[in-house]
Structure 1
């Protein structure tokens, strides 16, 4: 058998596996991942929510860390003056990157007529903010779960919301499906979305799976169901969001020890990362319920800063924020992470491209991670294009190519 014949035989034998690999692991979707998701109870949301949260976040920053030195003292960390400036500008320009109007735990169980009215009002307010150009890049709602007791209510709220939005939705819209316990619930969500796409002519609807039940991590048959859930919802599933407190409580962790850094949380998120790797599905950490209010602002800020930086170091680039005063530390932690690593990433990327020495022998996969790191910094505003050009001598298109991120198709 000639070499060409042998390769042909291998191509035939592996054709099915090749096709499955390409389908199940398509890689980066080529879109920005927000650094956080902000949850706002549906009855507290209106067209001014983004502006109001930004104002409250800046007020908290000015009151409890008004200068770089004061903020550094409050956070008990070294803080370059430029971080303070960049964060304040971010809170003015884009205080929320991703918004969820919450009809689940943050809203609670209410009479049907109340939730009906809240769904319609929220949709109208969102449409107003979209028309005014004041909505965040990503936005959506969290409905109630598809468990039997709340199934009808969750679907009805989504139906009312989409009906009211009419043709106002953009590609930034996403639905959060909470308390998922089975692959069948993900399949059912796909059926719901297909029906509503036809009825409301929305274009393809996307959703995130909220991982806050043990069943999502380990099924009764001993299999890791989260990977099957991603496959069942593809390509509509865009994210896996960890639910800190429901998940911890379900495993019997006492309330005082429920945390984003508890070992059970780390295990769940490790499984989520493994399941999502190469699929284009984003992984998001959860939240801390220690809020920066009253006499607890500085202590809560220090905790939040540490937890966000811990998630970033573990390769989880998104989390939840539940209070306006958490926004300053979200962006301080994020900006420190990308700015502290920028120079080393630039040196290593230049060396990889044959333009110097770095002391590292980086392979293509590591170069992709380095380029992805820089792109994430650019996406959130921690890094400027001019800095990247100066330090690396590369434009965003070439950076995206190195990161194996598809560039958006111009319209």
Structure 2
């Protein structure tokens, strides 16, 4: 029985570790040993993951016995935090999710595209006027999605250092339970106080819309604050990592970079972004569930109480779905990737993330055609210590 987890390999930071590559050879479902005596199922096949992610018999509630924690369970529960509807099953999950999903419809997100374009140009202007080398993470990749989600939520952007530092601690796999709990409490308290102000002075933003739900008795103030934590963290942390990691990947594939830089065809840019999402799969420790009932799949029976880890990074490199999956091909139709999950718990903010990436990649490479990373790959600090993969920093020059 193979051990798990296996983080990305430092020798191949854009690919999978040899241990991860070996898992599909054992079949689309296999038992793994994780954290002592825990032996959850690892689901490696794309088809099997698609079915299971839509199966209501799998629970996302991390308080269930047998839930396969991404960190050592002797510490994880002591430091676990309330991540709102992400950690809930239906119908409660759906009740809370509906309160925010309207803000992330394709129509509303597309209306934001000109504003995001202006942000991107402004941050590029600031980088070009500043010293070299710059840090793409600090000066570009992190502030843009932070500003976008701040404006959507109605969070003052001048507080970005505060929420970025605490968000980084929450998704860290090396932070102590107390550090994770404190970071979550910091954000929840901050958002609760902000909601308190918006209850008397509402604005045209998502937190103010949640205040309407509070006043109607459909949402508690605590529920609104924890939803705010989830949206604030998810709205900038994941996209920031995709921006920096995708930029570095393209710099190492100049032929593919040219495809996304030298076109005005939105369909080409869209397909390129989908391939980057597939190839990088930044949620790299799996989506985790517990079986509430026995489930038969791919010739195996997942018993009630069994932990299940759905490995999206392997689904996204399943050769049955993506021919030559280890090759980066921006002309590929990669829309079947599972970078955002599937089923009722698919990422609510995926239209926003897609739009941001579609604006950012081509604009960055057109505006700075001589952009290059400073140093070799082995000198760049990758996030091997977080549940969301990316870069701690990326020195660049031009």
Fold shared per TM-score above 0.5: no
Using CA pairs under 8 Å that are at least 6 residues apart, name the structure with larger relative contact order, 1 or 2. Answer: 2
Q: Which has the larger radius of gyration?
A: 1
TM-score (norm 2): 0.24
TM-score (norm 1): 0.24
